[in-house]
Each structure stands twice: as C-alpha cells, then as structure tokens.
Amino acid sequence: MVCLGNICRSPLAEGILRDKTTKAGLNWEVDSAGTNGYHVGEQPHYLSQKVAKMNGIDISSQKCRHFVKEDFDRFDKIYAMASDVIEEMKWIGKDKYNASIVDLLLNEAYPGKNMDIPDPWYGTEPGYHKAYQLIDAACEALIKNHWGE
C-alpha cells in the first residue's frame, strides 16, 4: 500500500487490509510505504490513528518508511492510493518498475474507473473518515477478488 507520505492514507490501508486478511485466515504479508520520505520513522498521522481506532483498528505501532525500488522484487502486488503516487513509483523504481503488479487501490472496488483516494493531509477529520470508508470498501473487494490466488 503506497501513498506520498505514508502518514495518512497508506497506513490506514495497511491496517485495514491486515485486519481483514487476519480475520479471513489469509497468510498475506501486508506493508505500506511512502514515495516522498518526509516522515520516515514517524507514527501514522494522529487523525488516521483516531479514525482507525474508532473502527476498532490499532495502527499506532506502524512506522513510516520510504518506498524503494526493491519493493518491486518483494511484493506480488503494489497498490497506489492515487495516480500521482504511481508517477512517483515509476521514478523511484526505474528499471525495476513493473506495471503488471501495480494498480490503483480503488480499482478493486470500482474496476477501470481509475479513481484516487483524496489526500486528507491538508484537511480536517472528515477527510480521514472519507479516506477510511473508501479504503475499507476497496480492501473488502480486494480480498473477494484475489483470495483464491
């Protein structure tokens, strides 16, 4: 799960997908990273933590890390929260960038629509609830679409 800061959207996506896969009994490795690296080592944004907690998910132990080109070797599938994130992933990945394993997360819930999860970073708490709802729906669809693979 990849966004720009790995501080607002992708930590929610990591926490939500891990919670759903654990409950479904799936042994998937779930991780998140950010393309800009400005917040490396930090906990998720306090509003992401708050909204996750209101939905029964504790993401407080997650730590921000920078997306690296080796992530293309490590993971079967890489989801971007928005299309600008994919452009950054291409720049970081260079020769390792693999379009066949990259998709926008919301395409799992809304196939082919290429929708972004709006960045709540510059806004207030409702933006984090909106991000949570979109990510939750996408992760629910993701498991239904891929659990048999």
Q: Which residues of 95-108 are buried (b: 16+ CB within 10 A; e: fewer)?
A: eebeeeebbbbbbb
Residue nearest to ligand 4NP (CB): 5
Q: How far is the CB of 25 from ligand 4NP (least distance, A)?
A: 29
Q: Is 3 a catalytic residue?
A: yes
From candidates 3, 78, 104, 109, binder to ligand 4NP by CB under 6 A: 3
Q: Which parts of 59-98 interact with ligand 4NP (CB under 6 A)?
A: none
Residue 5 in contact with ligand 4NP, rule: CB under 6 A: yes
The single residue listed with the structure tokens 């972004």 is 116
Structure tokens at 70: 């080796």
Q: Is 73 a catalytic residue?
A: no
Q: Which parts of 20-39 interact with ligand 4NP (CB under 6 A)?
A: 34, 36, 38
Residue 46 in contact with ligand 4NP, rule: CB under 6 A: no
DSSP structure string for 102-148: EEEGGGGTSTT--------TTS-HHHHHHHHHHHHHHHHHHHHHHTT
Q: Which parts of 104-143 interact with ligand 4NP (CB under 6 A)?
A: 119, 121
Q: How far is the CB of 4 from ligand 4NP (least distance, A)?
A: 3
Binding region for ligand 4NP (CB under 6 A): 3-9, 34, 36, 38, 119, 121
